[in-house]
Chains A and B, each alone.
Chain A
Amino acid sequence: KNEVEQSPQNLTAQEGEFITINCSYSVGISALHWLQQHPGGGIVSLFMLSSGKKKHGRLIATINIQEKHSSLHITASHPRDSAVYICAAGESGSRLTFGEGTQLTVNP
């Protein structure tokens, strides 16, 4: 069993739909990271959070420390949101442990 588990592994949505990707972790963390990997391979950091909720444009990330669970929400999804979304647990020190990623496809 991975220390960081994501669901679903694959997600197909229609443009405009509300999307949720879930992440559960079993390790103690200092922060939880959400990353986006574009179809071309580049990786960008979307959020780093240790409590509560963060919002950036149409993206919202939440975390429940007691339940060791985080969610990434995308409102009004668009085909350009199609990418792999990766959750990573930031443990004390410098270690990131990654989930296997969620492949999101948004159809027009």
Chain B
Amino acid sequence: DTAVSQTPKYLVTQMGNDKSIKCEQNLGHDTMYWYKQDSKKFLKIMFSYNNKELIINETVPNRFSPKSPDKAHLNLHINSLELGDSAVYFCASSKGLAGTQGTQYFGPGTRLLVL
């Protein structure tokens, strides 16, 4: 059974479109994250939810909107896609907060290409 799953794995779309990436974890974890990995392979946190509550919202354009319908799911919706949004987006989860009980379990990543 996959612990953290993301769909889709690949996403190719045109500028200006709206798209969503879904993430689910079956580990019973309380905290979920979205990370962006740029073309230089640098990872950066975008959002973090703990028990469905938003606890980290980094400096991310408001075209990006996370939604957590329950503790096991954290989806990412992106409006008006731009070329610079092309990246790999990783979902992750941890039992507790990243600083203290936060061994991270990563999804396989979603490779987004905006044309």
Contact = CB atoms under 8 A, between A and B. Distances in A.
Interface residues of A, number: 26
Interface string A14-52: 000000000000000111010101000111110010000
Contacts, number: 79
Select the residue from B92, B97, B99, B106 with max chain A CB neighbours within 10 A. Answer: B99
Contact of B98 (A43, A44, A96): A96
Nearest to A89: B99
Nearest to A97: B45
B55 A94 contact: yes
Contacts of B104: 33, 35, 43, 45, 96
A94 B106 contact: no
Given A84-B41, A93-B56, A94-B56, A43 B106 contact: yes
Interface string B23-58: 000000001010000001111110010100001100
A96 B109 CA distance: 17
B103 interface: yes
A95 B42 contact: no
Interface of A: 29-31, 33, 35, 37, 41-45, 48, 84, 86, 88, 90-98, 100-101
Interface of B: 31, 33, 40-45, 48, 50, 55-56, 88, 90, 92, 97-100, 102-106, 108-109, 111
5 contacts: A42-B108, A43-B104, A43-B109, A94-B48, A96-B104
